[in-house]
Structure 1
Amino acid sequence: MSARLLGLALLATVLLAVPRTGGAASQFDVLLDRADAVRSSDPASFQKRLAQLNALIAQASPAQRDRLAYLNAYSQAYAGHFDVAIAQAQRLIETTEDVSLQYRAGALIVNSHAAMRQFVEGLRQLEQMLPLADKVGDPDLRQQGLAVAAVLYNQIGQYELGLRYADQILAAPTSGRAECYAGMLKLEASLHLGVLGEEDAPVMQVIERCRVQHEAVWTNLSRAILARKWAARGERRKAAALLQEHAAEVAATRYPRLIGEIESLQAEFMLAEGDVDGAERHARASIAQSSGMANSLPLVMAHRTLYDIAARRNDPVAALHHYRNYAESDKAYLNDVKARELSYQIVRQETLQKNQQIELLNRRNEVLELEKRVDRAAARNTQLIAALLATLLAFIGYFAYKTKRMQMSFRRLAETDALTGISNRHHFTRQAEEALAFCARSGQDVGLIMFDLDHFKQINDLYGHVTGDFVLRQVAQACRACCRRNDRIGRIGGEEFAILLIGADLAAATRMAQVCCEKIAAVDTQGSGHTFGVSASFGVTTASLSGYDLTRLLSHADGMLYCSKREGRNRVSVYCAGQPEEGAELARTA
């Protein structure tokens, strides 16, 4: 009983679209339109016209037969034969090419599953129906599909989704009726989400819209929400008066869900105000209307009211009886709520898995396509290689010899300072970093010496750049002669040089710097055609003081070099632990 009534309510309030036919309509189309127009407002006339259409089916075109198939499926659903309706609507979806009919049939299947409380199947069908909405040309029909989604999501307790679809309809309603049912669905979702607000005006607007559209069910469901608001504010007498004022209109709908809910609310309000007899009368009326809906909240609340009444009257036998009824109905209601939530989670998980599978298939297809491209490219490359191989083999000996010589020449050019013959800055840096990394791993200390020729600019200015180049070569030769096999020396600037001493501690590095300082001072400049003295300022540090980072080592040594400059040149300054990089005051002169 409850499934059939729920199904009829959904069908009567949501699926009332009559598809528009364009151009000159045939007699069969006229009959289809008339039957479609009265299918919920005048069921007897609808059945009569449907029988007439079925008798004339031989005259129908394929498109007309599809429309008739939808009406036949609707007729089965209206009669409560939901399994038959689902089978016929599913067959129509599979055979028709009309997207609008596929959309309507999908909505019919969703509502039929909902009427039978088969929420998993209903949600699955909804997932297939909603993507068609953008392809439906009729705005009214498109919005009815959104309404189906809002009704179903509200019914299973997913009120955020119900509110979203109701708002989509209200953003651009196609009719006053759409504003009515979408407004009611929004009120219902907002009530359960706790975002209805304090103002009564939005609820009153929905009530008025539905009243103008003569939608008694939606109107009074909206009034029930308003009554709940008033009661929550302590205005229970006002709420009860509102419901009593429209009691006859509610009864005239003959819709058990609405009547049961209104009676249950009246019972709650009257009991709270102390009218025990009135509360009992309305509670029993609610139970009578809701007896076929074992999982409904009005039935639970009506049994609770009767239990409270019996408790007030100190009637333990009646109280126990009503409490058992209340506990059973409450358990059934909570189980139903859990089942609806589980249905949503099942379909949500299925959708997620389906999307993941689709994504995985897309990735696999991309990989396969790439593999095909690679195979084709490999085949072409093989052919080219085969063609070129003979030519390459003929010249390989010559080119190998030539290339080797060029590589050696380029390597020397890339690594060697052309003027002095020692490592250039780039090569020195690379060698130094490799050596530092090795020493860091093996725990060896490393010394770094930096020195800069004193007054070199004056030498260039007084004697010319040729003489300056001569001095640079002599200095490089003198210092390289002092280095061990594993030491690294390089020219890192115009007249600036650096020496990396592997395995040398601070004392050894300082001694090496002093030796180099003396060697430079002993350089004979007569070969340049001029006689003058040459000297250099030195800065020394070690990895044990500055760490194994080359940049930091160079920075500390450079600071000591300029310390030597400030202290009078032609000397060696050594970095001390904890000393600022430019702190000459802590340096000690060797």
Structure 2
Amino acid sequence: MARLLSRIWPGVAMAALAFCAITQPSFASATDHAGFLDETESLRTKDHPQYVQRLAQLHQEASSLTTSEQWHLRYLDAWEAMFEGEYTKSESQFNEIIDHSGDPVLAAKSSALLLNNLAINRRYEEAFALANRLTTSLPVATDSLARSMLVSNLSQMFNMAGQTDLAIKYADMAENSIPAGETDCHPALIKAAALYNGKRLTSSSRDLQRAVDTCVAARESVGTNSALLLMGSLFLDEGQPSKTMALLDRIGPSLRINHYSPHDQSAQLQRAQAYAKLGNDEEARKAALAVLAMNGPDDISEWLKEAYDVLYRVEKRQGNTAAALSYYEHFVAQDKGYLNDISVRSLAYEVSQQHQMVQNLATESLSKQNRILRLQQSLDANTVSTGRLYIALLLVSLASIALLLFRVKRSQLRFKRMSTLDGLTGILNHQHFMSEAERILRVQEKKLGSACLISIDLDHFKQVNDTYGHAMGDIVLQHTVAVLQDELRPIHIFARLGGEEFGILLVGCTSSQAMATAQRLCVAIEGSPVEDDGRVVSLSVSVGVASTDRCGFELSRLCREADAALYRAKRAGRNRVVADTDTENDTLSAA
């Protein structure tokens, strides 16, 4: 199972929403609105049904609330809208509180939750830009509750960006700034999540057990469920599906009471994976289909990817080839989408860092210019030699600024190049390949040329990951790219399209030439097994070929025909080349 935070993060993020309430004394009378508001806030994840009832009661008495109490009620309404998944509505409410409430504590808490809102909706550039602003405001955040919420949510944002050490640092800051009357449930939970995402956590880790114990003691059911689902995921990673099943049975009643969608999906997915590992294919299929039913037809998520993987394996074991292939196609699509989302996350973080650097340099430049002007005023009354010294200092300052700006520009260009390449293999990524292929096909169409698209997929690649681990899987992908590059010419456009799938655009090439090239690549891969640390992994590929001679110059059609040919090659037994003109019985074997 992929050890990635996306299956856990939404639950952890929503657990964060609970961390802005201070436990209050029991409500004394209906006129103690301030105390009643505070106590209601503390019930959000401890007793959510009662929280909803109290909101209704507060709205009935809204006319008797003071202005500050009405803003507090709007904040609680915004929290509930976010909990129910109404992100557009809650975003508007949070922004109104930040801009107009005049309450710095409510504004800080709303900013922290707005950060979660943007991240959940995959608006990563806005989220990281807000994170930079919140980081800058930390030194002036004197309210302990607001500060604790800010550093907690910053920890989660850095965790999403894969910055594990920064995430742990901010989680520790959150623990050190817990307000009076609060527990360390949430800081312990976000630290465990950061350690998990950094592959530094096991099911027996002290940090994970501490998160479970503190959330149970605090009666934070949402936080407790997040921590235990994290533990269930680790049990699966460690090959202990029976423990995962026992844990899910234990927290089942709490999940049903809270009915929080990310937790429901995580629990169903873990059941599907556990049943699959235990050999109960029927129950695994039911649980995986339940995950699919919780999502829309166009959704992309880690839950869906893993659910399709379970269904593919179950149908494959049952001998249902057509169903298995259909689920595998869905799995590949989800895998591509998920990898793209991770890339967008990382790129958004890097872009926000670059923008912050430029702003810092601009501020530094203005400061230097002010110092230079003051120096000029004092030097006007001095001798010619002093004037020469001023000129020299001015030149040095300008040279320093120019050097700093040059470094920033060079760094920006480097990140731009990185955005076009696949981080693991160093060849073009999916997005840049598509745009480059579109451009080349338009040129070929204008000059009546020709081109062919080759789609390549490593056979049984998941078995390599399952047998030897993901580190060996990465070595296999890098080895495959090296072998293919040796067989290709510089004019060919070569890219990793996602997972173990690659694409090659051959320019000025006929269909027969493309078939010959594809056959040569197939043979080269089969004749180049991977050897690492005494282990030998034999490789083969399935290849689909599509030509502009038959499909025209529209890239989308070339891709469809090449993919269709690729899947015919897989159905025909793999390790072979199939062209867009081939039928099910007319395939070329690499043997």
What TM bracket, shorter-length normalisation? 0.5 to 0.7
Give the C-alpha shift of residue 303 in structure 1. Answer: 0.8
Residue in 1 that maps onto 2:221: 216
Distance in 2 between residues matched to 1:209 and 1:158, nearest whole Å? 25
Indicate if the aligned counterparts of 1:187 and 1:196 stay in contact, CA closer than 8 A: yes
Match of 2:146 among 141, 155, 161: 141
Give the C-alpha shift of residue 76 in structure 1. Answer: 5.7
User: Which sits farther off after the overlay, 109-118 or 335-344?
Assistant: 109-118
Give the C-alpha shift of residue 313 in structure 1. Answer: 0.8
Give the C-alpha shift of residue 31 in structure 1. Answer: 2.3
Q: Go from structure 1 to structure 2 and tell me whether the alpha carbon gap of 1:125 and 1:283 turns closer, same or farther (over 3 Å shift).
A: same
Q: How does 1:167-566 map to 2 (within 5 A)?
A: 167-171=172-176, 173-174=178-179, 178-196=183-201, 199-291=204-296, 294-377=299-382
Q: Go from structure 1 to structure 2 and tell me whether the alpha carbon gap of 1:196 and 1:128 turns closer, same or farther (over 3 Å shift).
A: same
Partner SS for 1:246: helix
Please tell me the residue identity of whatever aligns with 1:43: V
Distance in 1 between residues matched to 2:169 and 2:201, nearest whole Å? 14
Q: Go from structure 1 to structure 2 and tell me whether the alpha carbon gap of 1:177 and 1:283 turns closer, same or farther (over 3 Å shift).
A: farther
Partner SS for 2:175: helix
User: Which sits farther off after the overlay, 289-298 or 320-329?
Assistant: 289-298
User: Does residue 45 of the first structure (1) align with residue 57 of the second (2)?
Assistant: no
Distance in 2 between residues matched to 1:76 and 1:223, nearest whole Å? 25
Match of 1:17 among 17, 20, 29: 20
Indicate if the aligned counterparts of 1:231 and 1:239 stay in contact, CA closer than 8 A: yes
Runs of 4+ that moved beyond 6 A: 6-9
What is the TM-score of this pair, normalised by structure 1? 0.55
Cα distance per residue 1:463-499 (max 9 Å; x no partner): xxxxxxxxxxxxxxxxxxxxxxxxxxxxxxxxxxxxx
Indicate if the aligned counterparts of 1:257 and 1:289 stay in contact, CA closer than 8 A: no
Indicate if the aligned counterparts of 2:272 and 2:307 stay in contact, CA closer than 8 A: yes
Q: Go from structure 1 to structure 2 and tell me whether the alpha carbon gap of 1:200 and 1:107 turns closer, same or farther (over 3 Å shift).
A: closer
Give the C-alpha shift of residue 332 in structure 1. Answer: 2.0
Please tell me the residue identity of whatever aligns with 2:55: F
Give the C-alpha shift of residue 202 in structure 1. Answer: 3.2
Please tell me the residue identity of whatever aligns with 2:319: N
Distance in 2 between residues matched to 1:75 and 1:227, nearest whole Å? 28
Distance in 2 between residues matched to 1:70 and 1:376, nearest whole Å? 60
Give the C-alpha shift of residue 66 in structure 1. Answer: 5.7
Q: Go from structure 1 to structure 2 and tell me whether the alpha carbon gap of 1:232 and 1:176 turns closer, same or farther (over 3 Å shift).
A: farther
User: Does residue 106 of the first structure (1) align with residue 111 of the second (2)?
Assistant: yes
User: Does residue 34 of the first structure (1) align with residue 36 of the second (2)?
Assistant: yes
Indicate if the aligned counterparts of 2:11 and 2:263 stay in contact, CA closer than 8 A: no
Q: Go from structure 1 to structure 2 and tell me whether the alpha carbon gap of 1:10 and 1:37 turns closer, same or farther (over 3 Å shift).
A: farther
Cα distance per residue 1:538-579 (max 9 Å; x no partner): xxxxxxxxxxxxxxxxxxxxxxxxxxxxxxxxxxxxxxxxxx
Q: Go from structure 1 to structure 2 and tell me whether the alpha carbon gap of 1:243 and 1:50 turns closer, same or farther (over 3 Å shift).
A: same
Partner SS for 1:234: coil
Give the C-alpha shift of residue 140 in structure 1. Answer: 2.7
Q: Go from structure 1 to structure 2 and tell me whether the alpha carbon gap of 1:164 and 1:98 turns closer, same or farther (over 3 Å shift).
A: same
Residue in 2 that maps onto 1:457: none
Give the C-alpha shift of residue 289 in structure 1. Answer: 3.1
Indicate if the aligned counterparts of 1:290 and 1:296 stay in contact, CA closer than 8 A: no
Give the C-alpha shift of residue 19 in structure 1. Answer: 7.7
Give the C-alpha shift of residue 311 in structure 1. Answer: 0.6
Q: Go from structure 1 to structure 2 and tell me whether the alpha carbon gap of 1:126 and 1:47 turns closer, same or farther (over 3 Å shift).
A: farther
Indicate if the aligned counterparts of 1:119 and 1:343 stay in contact, CA closer than 8 A: yes
Q: Go from structure 1 to structure 2 and tell me whether the alpha carbon gap of 1:359 and 1:79 turns closer, same or farther (over 3 Å shift).
A: same
Partner SS for 1:322: helix
Q: Go from structure 1 to structure 2 and tell me whether the alpha carbon gap of 1:90 and 1:239 turns closer, same or farther (over 3 Å shift).
A: closer
Please tell me the residue identity of whatever aligns with 1:281: K
Residue in 2 that maps onto 1:121: 126
Q: Go from structure 1 to structure 2 and tell me whether the alpha carbon gap of 1:293 and 1:148 turns closer, same or farther (over 3 Å shift).
A: farther
Indicate if the aligned counterparts of 2:98 and 2:111 stay in contact, CA closer than 8 A: yes
Give the C-alpha shift of residue 307 in structure 1. Answer: 0.4
Indicate if the aligned counterparts of 2:12 and 2:226 stay in contact, CA closer than 8 A: no
Please tell me the residue identity of whatever aligns with 1:129: L
Distance in 1 between residues matched to 2:87 and 2:203, nearest whole Å? 41
Partner SS for 1:346: helix
Indicate if the aligned counterparts of 2:288 and 2:307 stay in contact, CA closer than 8 A: yes
Give the C-alpha shift of residue 305 in structure 1. Answer: 0.3
Indicate if the aligned counterparts of 2:11 and 2:222 stay in contact, CA closer than 8 A: no
Distance in 2 between residues matched to 1:362 and 1:285, nearest whole Å? 60
Give the C-alpha shift of residue 341 in structure 1. Answer: 1.5
Percent identity, aligned pairs only, is 20
Distance in 1 between residues matched to 2:359 and 2:216, nearest whole Å? 44
What is the TM-score of this pair, normalised by structure 2? 0.55
Indicate if the aligned counterparts of 1:173 and 1:179 stay in contact, CA closer than 8 A: yes
Give the C-alpha shift of residue 171 in structure 1. Answer: 3.7
Please tell me the residue identity of whatever aligns with 1:14: L
Cα distance per residue 1:116-175 (max 9 Å; x no partner): 321211221222223333333332332112111122333344333222211222345446
Cα distance per residue 1:493-545 (max 9 Å; x no partner): xxxxxxxxxxxxxxxxxxxxxxxxxxxxxxxxxxxxxxxxxxxxxxxxxxxxx
Distance in 2 between residues matched to 1:105 and 1:345, nearest whole Å? 25
Distance in 2 between residues matched to 1:69 and 1:210, nearest whole Å? 27
Indicate if the aligned counterparts of 1:18 and 1:33 stay in contact, CA closer than 8 A: no
Please tell me the residue identity of whatever aligns with 2:106: L
Residue in 1 that maps onto 2:137: 132
Total equivalences in the alignment: 370
Distance in 2 between residues matched to 1:196 and 1:258, nearest whole Å? 20
Indicate if the aligned counterparts of 1:35 and 1:50 stay in contact, CA closer than 8 A: no
Please tell me the residue identity of whatever aligns with 2:223: W
Please tell me the residue identity of whatever aligns with 2:339: L
Distance in 2 between residues matched to 1:44 and 1:160, nearest whole Å? 41
Indicate if the aligned counterparts of 1:286 and 1:302 stay in contact, CA closer than 8 A: yes
Give the C-alpha shift of residue 321 in structure 1. Answer: 1.9
Distance in 2 between residues matched to 1:36 and 1:12, nearest whole Å? 18
Distance in 2 between residues matched to 1:219 and 1:306, nearest whole Å? 29
Distance in 2 between residues matched to 1:101 and 1:172, nearest whole Å? 17
Give the C-alpha shift of residue 98 in structure 1. Answer: 4.3
Distance in 2 between residues matched to 1:67 and 1:171, nearest whole Å? 26
Indicate if the aligned counterparts of 2:15 and 2:223 stay in contact, CA closer than 8 A: no
Partner SS for 2:294: helix
- The higher radius of gyration belongs to 1
Please tell me the residue identity of whatever aligns with 1:304: D
Partner SS for 2:20: coil
Indicate if the aligned counterparts of 1:50 and 1:72 stay in contact, CA closer than 8 A: no
